[in-house]
Structure 1
Amino acid sequence: MSDSSPGANSSLEQYNAQKITVLEGLSAVRKRPSMYIGNVSSEGLHHLVYEVVDNSIDEALAGFCNHIQIQIHSDDSVTVEDNGRGIPVDLHEKENIPAVEVVMTKLHAGGKFDNSTYKVSGGLHGVGVSVVNALSEYLEVEIRREGKVYFQRYVRGEPRTPLVEKGETQRRGTRITFKADPLIFSETEMSFDVLVQRLRELAFLNPGVRIDLSDEKTLKDRSFCYEGGLTSFVEFLNKNKEPLHPEVIKFSGEKQGVAIDVALQYNQTYNEKIFTFANNINTKEGGSHLVGFKAGLTRSIKQYAVQTKMAKVDLEKLSGDDVREGLSAIVSVKLSQPQFEGQTKTKLGNSEVKGLVENLVYEKLSIFFEENPKVIKLILDKVLEAARAREAARRARDLTRRKGVLSDHSLPGKLADCQERDPVNSEIFIVEGDSAGGSAKQGRDRKFQAILPLRGKILNVEKARFDKMLENQEIRNMIAALGTGVGKDEYNPDKLRYHKTIIMTDADVDGAHIRTLLLTFFFRMMPELIERGNLFIAQPPLYRVAVGKQEYYLKDEDELNAFLLKRAVEKREVYLSGQGGPLPSEQLIQLMKTFSRYEELLERQSQRGIPGKLMEEILKIASENRLSMSNTDSMSLLKAELEKLGYEILSIELGEEEQGYDLELWDPRSVEGQVRIRLENRHLQSAEFKRLQELYAQLEIFHQTPYRVREAQGEEKFDHPRALFQYLMEEARKGTSLQRYKGLGEMNPDQLWETTMNPEKRTLLQVRIEDQYQADELFTTLMGDKVEPRRDFIQYNALDFRELDI
């Protein structure tokens, strides 16, 4: 499994034997969980999933598994299923319990201690799945092995059922479902995007292994499978970037039992992206393999520069940073006895690996450069340009420092600083424009809130080199105000003057653009601020509703709808057909909210080419016949029922493994003529369709029509919840004054304080990077030089936009 053993506690002399506590079984893990998974917040929570997935990956490395499925369920439990050999179930000779129970309940038990079962694995200490079991509210394991299906359930690490045989099967593999224990973890909400990053890495690092992830809550699903391995990984990193040379440079080798794989490609940007892995584990803090790679790369390029008789003055300028500008690279090593620094293995400690990686990189690159002189010439030109730009940036920094612009002692004139000197208790608002800046300065609490207004749009740092960036006055003002400095030599996040840096922009398109420019700056130039949780986005209200002399500030469309619904049912009673009394107001509000979510999903089906009317008829058929849509019989029944309703089936295509089929049909009754509709079985099995079924079931009470709405003026009748919803919303708006804010300058200082700046009432969004690769790609797409990827992004996401402020 993928976690290392906790260090043995040092033997300290105690007063007497009674003072010594022996924690039996997995109780040590529950007592000190952070020793095993790093922490009990979000990072440790997701580490549980990685532990289980890494077991499946170890089966893939051994050649027995090529498909792994991960599901996040609506209650935040997680299922991990693979088609490996299945955990052994026979009786363990020494422990006298089934082997699977040994693996699940004993620390340091597993198949990774002898090198014959797994030659290479992420977890060598056997604490992985037993730790997951110990820290789970419950864990269920299902094993398909040797034609039989076995099952066992555990609660907080303890077996609740014996291992039982529950059926026969032709398949093999292991299926583990667990729910993180809320008694241990401060948060138990699984993030789809956090898991995506790790699973994508594993798919790149293990060519041919397919990894599927789905989330029942967000209705997202992703599938990863890359035959190209590290080459595909580098191509992914350079997606939407302009490569310096067309082919990815890829090489591998084995030295002293260590398998080394490297892939790299330069691009026209100024950012360095190097990711390192040891036994499939992302070593975020680097280690000996990263040091070796950097040394080998620099040595090989400098050596070739000497051979080409590059001018001595240029050679002396070259540094390792110059050699790596615009480089995207992956370094993966696999070794039988890895030594990781830190329990969660983010740094490789094997000292011998440095020399092995350095020599291999130097040898392979030297050969490649000899055989590809055009490529090395392009690289050398870029490296020299980087060295000159670095020198220009140094001069620009020295000049600005002499002028006092970037020093701690010279703060920008526009900054309205706060009185508090402790950064922990201070916050700065970076505000768009002088108008909003004026309101913010008047509305703030000057004890701990600083205001820095920006004039216009800052420079797009995605397209600008470092020296050009330093010429931008607004960026210089920000750097000086924050106090961290900028650039590899001077940037120090510990000098941050405010522990909350809050971006506050308007709710229109210009505001969104300025916010994106600022986020690009922080992501590229001050990433530690994001990693440490210092960067936030203010959430000014979108609406102000006045009812008489009362004023209400509402954050977004959902809050507005909730407010209006509450107001709508205050003086009205809704009666359903066949029910004596009126619906309780709280139940009615909840039903209307559910209906609103149902309508949104139905609209999304229409955008995908399935008319809302057809989808509602499918939902009704599925509900009345309790169809699961997971087999041919369900699809056959659906086809027959649709034909009864008047639809004409044009063609049928069998789906994968003939578990169902796709239908192509049209509605002769439609006034739009013969519009062909494709109904894919895959879509009817998706999390999105299942969510629609759930909402349809929750609205079952609305299936009895008509509805009567009784109020002081009389009674109204409705035959559809849509008509009822629209009537209630229209009635709720009567007697109200609704203002939609676009600019912060539209608010008075006291309104801005009350809604957006007051810590007791405001809402702040913390900026976090959940998927580093996706974030990098997104900034390149939105802010980079290429127009086509940006256009494609806008077209793809256009369906999700309901309203756009211009």
Structure 2
Amino acid sequence: RLEIKRDGFIWIQNYSRGKPLAPLKNIGETKKTGTKIRFYPDDKIFSNIEFHFEILSKRLREIAFLNSGLEINLINEKDDKKAKFFYKGGVSSFVEFLSENKTPLHPKPIYIQDLRNNDGAEEFLEIAMQWTDSYNEQILAFTNTINNKDGGTHVVGFKSALTRAINSYIEEHNMQKDLKENLAGEDVREGLIAIINLRIPDPKFSSQTKEKLVSSHVKGWIESVIMEKFKAFLEENPSVARKIIDKMIEAARAREAARKAKEIVRKKGALDSSHLPGKLADCQERASELAELFIVEGDSAGGSAKQARDRRFQAVLPLRGKILNVEKAREDKIISNEEIKNIISALGIGFDKENMDLSKLRYKKIIIMTDADVDGSHIRTLLLTFFYRYMFPLIEKGNLYIAQPPLFRVEKGKQVLYFLNEREMEGFFLKKIKENVEVRTVKGKIYNGDELFYIVQDFLNFKNSLNILQSHGVSLKLINLLLEFGFQEGSYFLNPELLKPLISALNEHFKEVSVIPDPDNGYSILLKEEGTLGNFYLLKQEIIESSEYSRALNLYKKLKDLLTTGFKIGDEYFISLEELSTALLERTKRGYTIQRYKGLGEMNPEQLWETTMDPERRLLLKVTIEDAVEADRIFSVLMGDQVEPRKAFIMENALRVKNLDV
């Protein structure tokens, strides 16, 4: 449905599969202007008609950044989830967004803009860039708001001109005494975050996916703009120029150190695929399309994996301990790390990010196999950081996987079962409640089979939500009062008048209740327990809007009448649903032996093969990148030097945690 407000009138027109159902119709007068388009996805055209708030948010945020001053509001009316995207600073704000978890070398992004007439056609270029203390570059290029993931002529022109401009400035200001030779492009771009936003009519791309711009006239234009305007910026801001050039000189020294380290390592054959690492148990298969490499945590697990594997096509490389965090290290340090050298040598594709030769890859599947515990997760994250920063083409081409070893082994008689985590194992025992159990309430109501199963399942989920809320400083007493009151309006915290009914109810159960301004958003409620040493609690909007509180409230409504009633199984009496649920789960586990694996090394080779390595039965997770900007941000937050962004990330996402291994 199309609705247009223009020239004092409101016009509407309805469509079906792109064809108008009737002519444009005038339905009234208005003083407003604008266009509204409402559509429903057609399942006969689209294979997937589900809207994903996160995916839409990422794309709309991108568009808002690239169009300074444009406001976009995204509203999901199903769950009232909202997001507003408005960035007055445009691409400069985009750069600030990307650098928020890094330390900038200069306070504001450098902004360059040019508008020209090319044979009667208007062309627009804007570039924002900022150097940070990180060791990785991030250049995002867009043509007519389309992200060109593989770059193109605009990126080539930008890179070459940037290097020339810096070297020219160094020469003109006699700064070359600190250098043996001109700076290389990689030195100049170390720690650089840049956005190139190009708008041109009739752009030429290398393919229909528009991932690479090939319009040849763009390169020379961007080169001339950078040489003129970026050099002018350096002349006008000598202190900023000095800071970023000092970093570039340091990067050049590190590059030279890395080159020497590579030479030493190459002489020893450590990076040469013809000299494979001693710890590698290689496979017999020489066709890379059929071969797999398991990168395994520790010598113990490596020993089990070597015995468990099918040596015809499976190779095993054990790692000793945790590898270097490459997010915090320069290339010369990385190349000297023994475990990383072993990985590079085993893969056979070299270590040059610009000229990585995937045709020499020795294994089609590279599988990270670590323990199913916290340490294993940390090692896996360190490995993922290395592959993301230095072997990204392997992720792009779909070569990187994560093994899913079980955490539990359950045995009864000849029956042996494996479970990935505690939640999956508890789910197995929970389903057994359906078998031959009949429960009667004190009022005579009978529950069994599926009905009993769903009641116990809902209660356990309810209890889990309460525990998570309590772990974040909300008292059980307060949670129960909120649930009894049925309070669910997080937006009320923006207006203290709307909170009055809730305040009145809470006043009956707490010594003091007051509304105080919240520095983050609106207002919060401060509560104090009875007694001289009564505890204080702070109820914030984010608690009410958290997924766990919403889940707890929905389950409370379903279970309300059963939570405090009594139950009987035969002559055995249970005073509450909690006591009944605990007893039922204990009954289902009788006769079973439960083993929790502390590590892969605890499994014998046969168990490791059948659960984790056998292609017919194993479960692998393929590592993919859906949003490069978000992936880069997350790696910087979790693995970078900045502590505050990591702390903020943990606090922000604490209530969203679903699987927590303590």
Three-state SS of the structure 2 residue aligned to 1:268 is coil
Distance 1:475 1:217 in 2: 48
Which of 608, 622, 632 is the aligned partner of 1:752?
A: 608
Distance 2:657 2:563 in 1: 33
Post-superposition offset of 1:541: 1.0
Post-superposition offset of 1:751: 1.2
Which of 778, 784, 802 is the aligned partner of 2:634?
A: 778
Q: Deviations over 1:754-791 (max 9, x none)?
A: 21112222222222223322322222233323344344
Q: Which amino acid aligns with 2:251?
A: A
Question: Who is 2:624 aligned against?
Answer: 768
Q: Deviations over 1:254-286 (max 9, x none)?
A: 122222211111122221111111222222122
Distance 1:653 1:146 in 2: 47
Post-superposition offset of 1:452: 0.6
Question: Who is 1:79 aligned against?
Answer: none
Going from structure 1 to structure 2, the CA distance change for 1:254 and 1:496 (only over 3 Å counts) comes to same
Q: Which amino acid aligns with 2:207?
A: G
Distance 2:3 2:473 in 1: 48
The reply on whether 1:201 has 2:70 as its aligned counterpart is: no
Distance 2:645 2:10 in 1: 50
- 8 Å Cα contact 2:547/2:655 also seen in 1: no
Going from structure 1 to structure 2, the CA distance change for 1:554 and 1:313 (only over 3 Å counts) comes to closer
- 8 Å Cα contact 2:433/2:452 also seen in 1: no
Which of 429, 432, 435 is the aligned partner of 2:294?
A: 429
Question: Who is 1:96 aligned against?
Answer: none
Three-state SS of the structure 2 residue aligned to 1:537 is strand
RMSD: 4.3
Write out aligned runs for 1:401-412 (5 A): 401-412=266-277
How many residues are treated as equivalent by the alignment?
Answer: 651
- 8 Å Cα contact 1:200/1:224 also seen in 2: yes
- 8 Å Cα contact 1:622/1:638 also seen in 2: no
Three-state SS of the structure 1 residue aligned to 2:447 is coil
TM-score computed with the length of structure 1 as normaliser: 0.70
The reply on whether 1:486 has 2:355 as its aligned counterpart is: no
Question: Who is 1:724 aligned against?
Answer: 580
- 8 Å Cα contact 1:546/1:736 also seen in 2: yes
Post-superposition offset of 1:166: 11
Write out aligned runs for 1:456-467 (5 A): 456-467=321-332
The reply on whether 1:715 has 2:572 as its aligned counterpart is: yes
Three-state SS of the structure 2 residue aligned to 1:486 is coil
Which of 376, 379, 395 is the aligned partner of 1:514?
A: 379
Question: Who is 1:415 aligned against?
Answer: 280
Q: Percentage identity across aligned positions? A: 46
The reply on whether 1:365 has 2:211 as its aligned counterpart is: no
- 8 Å Cα contact 1:151/1:166 also seen in 2: no
Q: Which runs of 5+ in 2 are unaligned?
A: none
Going from structure 1 to structure 2, the CA distance change for 1:696 and 1:183 (only over 3 Å counts) comes to farther
Q: Which amino acid aligns with 2:573?
A: E
Question: Who is 1:24 aligned against?
Answer: none
- 8 Å Cα contact 2:109/2:129 also seen in 1: yes
Distance 1:182 1:483 in 2: 46
Post-superposition offset of 1:559: 0.6
Going from structure 1 to structure 2, the CA distance change for 1:251 and 1:506 (only over 3 Å counts) comes to same
- 8 Å Cα contact 2:514/2:527 also seen in 1: no
Deviates more, 1:440-449 or 1:646-655: 646-655
Three-state SS of the structure 2 residue aligned to 1:347 is coil
Distance 2:77 2:370 in 1: 33
Q: Which amino acid aligns with 1:762?
A: R
Question: Who is 2:364 aligned against?
Answer: 499
Write out aligned runs for 1:220-369 (5 A): 223-256=84-117, 257-311=122-176, 314=179, 316-369=181-234
Write out aligned runs for 1:628-647 (5 A): 640=501, 643=504, 646=508
Going from structure 1 to structure 2, the CA distance change for 1:668 and 1:508 (only over 3 Å counts) comes to closer
Three-state SS of the structure 1 residue aligned to 2:326 is coil
- 8 Å Cα contact 1:270/1:325 also seen in 2: yes
Distance 1:668 1:311 in 2: 69
Q: Which runs of 5+ in 1 are unaligned?
A: 1-85, 91-143, 656-660
Distance 1:588 1:434 in 2: 47
Distance 1:439 1:613 in 2: 50
- 8 Å Cα contact 1:325/1:383 also seen in 2: yes
Write out aligned runs for 1:12-91 (5 A): 87-88=2-3
Post-superposition offset of 1:695: 4.1
Distance 1:159 1:205 in 2: 32
Which of 575, 593, 614 is the aligned partner of 1:737?
A: 593
Distance 1:177 1:576 in 2: 50
The reply on whether 1:588 has 2:452 as its aligned counterpart is: yes
Three-state SS of the structure 2 residue aligned to 1:318 is coil
Post-superposition offset of 1:744: 0.8
Going from structure 1 to structure 2, the CA distance change for 1:582 and 1:284 (only over 3 Å counts) comes to same
- 8 Å Cα contact 1:576/1:704 also seen in 2: no
Deviates more, 1:452-461 or 1:520-529: 452-461
Q: Deviations over 1:138-157 (max 9, x none)?
A: xxxxxx99797969585x66
Deviates more, 1:313-322 or 1:199-208: 313-322
Which of 27, 43, 51 is the aligned partner of 1:181?
A: 43
Distance 2:462 2:13 in 1: 37
Question: Who is 1:448 aligned against?
Answer: 313
Going from structure 1 to structure 2, the CA distance change for 1:679 and 1:526 (only over 3 Å counts) comes to closer
Q: Deviations over 1:329-359 (max 9, x none)?
A: 1111223444444333323343332222222
Distance 1:392 1:454 in 2: 25
- 8 Å Cα contact 1:197/1:770 also seen in 2: no
- 8 Å Cα contact 1:152/1:164 also seen in 2: no
- 8 Å Cα contact 2:72/2:84 also seen in 1: yes
Distance 2:415 2:128 in 1: 63
Distance 2:529 2:9 in 1: 50
- 8 Å Cα contact 1:277/1:283 also seen in 2: yes
- 8 Å Cα contact 1:665/1:678 also seen in 2: yes
Going from structure 1 to structure 2, the CA distance change for 1:611 and 1:489 (only over 3 Å counts) comes to closer
Question: Who is 2:408 aligned against?
Answer: 543
Three-state SS of the structure 1 residue aligned to 2:401 is strand
Distance 1:548 1:454 in 2: 37
Going from structure 1 to structure 2, the CA distance change for 1:352 and 1:595 (only over 3 Å counts) comes to farther
Three-state SS of the structure 2 residue aligned to 1:309 is coil
- 8 Å Cα contact 1:297/1:362 also seen in 2: yes
Deviates more, 1:516-525 or 1:527-536: 527-536
Distance 2:645 2:498 in 1: 43
Question: Who is 2:565 aligned against?
Answer: 706
Distance 2:11 2:515 in 1: 34
Distance 1:736 1:170 in 2: 74
The reply on whether 1:600 has 2:447 as its aligned counterpart is: no
Which of 559, 569, 579 is the aligned partner of 2:424?
A: 559
Post-superposition offset of 1:628: 8.3
Post-superposition offset of 1:429: 0.7
Going from structure 1 to structure 2, the CA distance change for 1:621 and 1:715 (only over 3 Å counts) comes to same
Post-superposition offset of 1:291: 2.1
TM-score computed with the length of structure 2 as normaliser: 0.84
Deviates more, 1:533-542 or 1:570-579: 570-579
Distance 1:198 1:440 in 2: 43
Going from structure 1 to structure 2, the CA distance change for 1:543 and 1:192 (only over 3 Å counts) comes to farther
Three-state SS of the structure 1 residue aligned to 2:149 is coil
Distance 2:115 2:595 in 1: 68
Going from structure 1 to structure 2, the CA distance change for 1:641 and 1:383 (only over 3 Å counts) comes to closer
- 8 Å Cα contact 1:537/1:767 also seen in 2: yes
